[in-house]
A and B are shown apart, each in its own frame.
Chain A
């Protein structure tokens, strides 16, 4: 059982990493977006493997269902329709980027790896669900309570950050609209045409 889980984990991890590599190397930008979706789905599967059902579904709902489709939409609206534009996706000194990314990743992951009390016991954990009822786990109620009690400040800060992004996007959109030529409505056009007489 443990071995099976590990094999599945390795397969999913390989899928995530492979898809992520394809995102940055794909020539066609829509293909890159599709690979990104594949990578997101893999992360969702990983959550499912960890029995975090809620997180897995939210991952699919938010990243695959909303964010990626917005990306595709933006690409379709702004790019050349066929998407043959992107020629150089890999730069000459790509290895510099690789090193920077690796160092940053290590800086993030090192405290966790070093401080975590790793369990080396080999005893398999008791499998829940003999009666068919999934074992009770930290559900969405606990998650919701944690958000409004213990982690209220980070939660609110994230919400404000999103709001700022939203307001910023609207401001930029309105500036562009103001700069554009005024397009008269049908009523104005009719009024304008009748004016000379």
Chain B
């Protein structure tokens, strides 16, 4: 019985995520069109809702080519290595709380209560090292891209592959260290308990600095626009997937967008309170009083899922917005942002969190959150100030290098 339930959970999650991917592409294209004063795809069906279907059919019927000089095994392995991590990441993310034992209060009960996580069908696996699992799976996502770049036996792909390896390793550190701050606040690595600890104050407030670092490095991990040197169209034609066509290209495309949803979901789980929504417990109590605990469970389940999806959608919109508004960074700037700014900021955040939490573990969470928020904003402001100063210094230095000759006679 348990195996059947788990199988259904996995199947539904994968189908939902694939559909989400298809409609995310439409969402992004329509939004980008909006940002750029265009209309966007609106021909296939009302508001273009059949566009993803049309795209899928087109990709399916394209000719499937393997370059003759490619390393065939690795070439075929790479798309799979890209997609699998993007899908298995969903195993530990609590997408809501629908307790099939009919006990909605278990969702709000302290962690450690008997089987509360086990009966929640909106989370596939409740492992006690969930956050670490997320990190590990994110870190193996780089192989798909890197190996695709190598196996294609093309210079463009190769350059894309090397860039991706360097970029993803650099930003993984900042990403992990930012997550560490949230883990220290929650005092646990289980995603379910992470969400439980955010019933009151979301970690985005006390861990504001970590949240900012997380968002930037997550965008870099996704190799999306300000950081998309890996597939920079103007320089590398298409980077690592230059030599891929048909469904193999679609798999890379899919992995990118599924990862985009997944990282948004991780951000929601770790920083934006997961499926929590103000008044959710009250709603459960009211419905339970009016129609019984069984109905309350269903209502809490659906509302928590919707609240989770709403938060994910907000982060997805942010990513699309970012893509519409920012030009691509230069390669040396990419490295300097990752190593010289984000990583130290994340380390400062870890130290500050450790000192504040360690000095007064019994402090009121709200007071603690406000203290941490003020420190975080101050540090961010200082970093912005420093980087502005560095930039103006560079400009002065560049002018000074040119100046001695004066104007041309």
Contact = CB atoms under 8 A, between A and B. Distances in A.
Interface of A: 28, 30-31, 34, 37, 53-54, 57-58, 60-61, 64-66, 69-70, 72-73, 76-77, 81-82, 131-134, 139-140, 185-188, 190-191, 194-195, 197
A61 B158 contact: no
A64 B137 CA distance: 10
A65 B136 contact: yes
B12 interface: no
Interface centre among B135, B172, B405 (most CB of A within 10 A): B405
10 contacts: A28-B71, A57-B129, A66-B169, A69-B143, A77-B162, A81-B158, A188-B401, A190-B401, A191-B405, A197-B408
B133 A191 contact: no
B133 A133 contact: no
A132 B165 contact: no
Interface in B249-297: none
A139 B127 CA distance: 12
A197 B129 CA distance: 68
Nearest to A60: B136
B138 to A, nearest CB: 8
A72 B146 contact: yes
B146 A69 contact: yes
A2 to B, nearest CB: 20
Contacts of A64: 136, 139-140
Nearest to A139: B128
A18 to B, nearest CB: 16
B63 interface: no
Interface string B130-157: 0011011001101100110010010100
B189 A140 contact: yes
Contacts of B401: 185, 187-188, 190-191
Nearest to A53: B129
Contact of A57 (B133, B158, B168, B409): B133
Contacts, number: 105
A134 B132 CA distance: 17
A129 B5 CA distance: 17
Interface of B: 71, 73-74, 114-115, 117-119, 127-129, 132-133, 135-136, 139-140, 142-143, 146-147, 150, 153, 155, 158, 161-162, 165-166, 168-169, 172, 189, 397-398, 401-402, 404-405, 408-409
A187 B398 contact: yes
B165 A72 contact: yes
A76 B161 contact: yes
Contacts of B114: 131-133
Nearest to B73: A31
A76 B150 contact: yes
A57 B404 CA distance: 59
A134 B168 CA distance: 34
A73 B149 CA distance: 11
Contacts of B153: 81-82
Contact of A194 (B135, B158, B405): B405
Nearest to A65: B139
A191 B143 CA distance: 44
B115 A134 contact: no
Given A133-B114, A194-B402, A73 B169 contact: yes
A194 B166 CA distance: 37
A139 to B, nearest CB: 7
